[in-house]
Homo-oligomer: A and B are copies of this chain.
Amino acid sequence: MNFCSVCGAKVALRIPAGDHLPRHVCEACGTIHYSNPKMVVGAIPEWEDQILLCRRAIEPRHGKWTLPAGFMENDETTAEAAARETAEEACARIEVGDLYSLINVAHISQVHMLYRARLLDLDFAPGEESLEVRLFREEEIPWDELAFRSVAMTLRFYFEDRRERRFRFHVADIRTPSHIAAS
Contacts and interface: CB of A to CB of B under 8 A. Distances in A.
A73 interface: yes
Contacts of A11: 5
A21 interface: yes
A153 interface: no
Given A74-B36, A78-B102, A6 B6 contact: no
Contacts of A6: 1-3
B3 A74 contact: no
Contacts of A7: 2-3
A8 interface: yes
A161 B163 CA distance: 28
Contacts of A99: 102, 169, 171
Interface string A149-183: 00000000000000000000101010000000000
Interface stretch (A46-54, A104-112, A135-143): A104-112
B3 A37 contact: no
A154 to B, nearest CB: 16
A109 B2 contact: no
A3 B4 contact: yes
A118 B88 CA distance: 42
A4 B10 CA distance: 11
Contacts of A121: none
Interface in A39-83: 39, 71-80
The 3 A-B pairs of least Cβ separation, nearest first, read A3-B8, A77-B104, A74-B109
7 contacts: A1-B5, A18-B128, A34-B71, A36-B71, A39-B111, A78-B104, A169-B169
